[in-house]
Amino acid sequence: MLMGEYRHAMDAKGRLFMPAKLREDLGDKFIATQGIDGQLFVFSFEEWTNFANKLRSLPMSDPGAQAFVRLFVAGASECEVDKQGRFLLPPNLREYAGLIKDAVITGLITRVEIWSAEAWDRYKSEYRDAASEQYVEMLRSLQQFGI
């Protein structure tokens, strides 16, 4: 299972270290694409196939569904880990996520997310403030799933 939070610096060539614990489930080759909140999603080939199968079922006549497919699939890239545990993030994905130097890599059960450290810290602080609207909305969402 993918889990944990890891902080690593990206090198000048756009390479980032993928923690060994996450590589155990992801493998040495995986798919990276744009996320929903300005982060990147990283899927193992198996999870990407499952996700792509769901995307195939979206109606081509629905503009919103097709926009979603375009954003997720057109920007996707196959990444491969080198002998030092690093992988190259393409420029389009680095730009989308605002990745310049410091990154946070999080394991989220079936996928990995890659955030700029600043965006991750901001996101966590917004959701940790118990009085925040986002926190209350998150709790409401979890209730409908019995959590």
Helices then strands (H, E): number in the chain?
6, 8
100, part of any domain:
yes
**pTM metric for this prediction:** 0.86
126: helix, coil or strand?
A: helix
CATH number at residue 84: 3.40.1550.20
Q: Residue 145: what pLDDT?
A: 63
Using an 8 Å Cβ cutoff, are 133 and 47 in contact? Answer: no
Place of tokens 């310049």: 100
Q: Residue 93: what pLDDT?
A: 97
146, part of any domain:
no
pLDDT, one tens digit per residue, over 93-145 is 999 999 999 999 999 999 999 999 999 999 988 777 666 676 677 677 767 76
pLDDT, one tens digit per residue, over 40-72 is 999 999 999 998 998 888 888 888 888 888 888
Q: Residue 87: what pLDDT?
A: 98
DSSP class of residue 130 equals: T
- DSSP-derived pairing of the beta strands 15-17 and 40-43: unpaired
pLDDT, one tens digit per residue, over 68-87 is 888 889 999 999 999 999 99
Domain count, the chain: 1
What is the domain extent for residue 45?
Answer: 2-117
134, part of any domain:
no
- Higher-pLDDT residue of 67 and 21 is 21
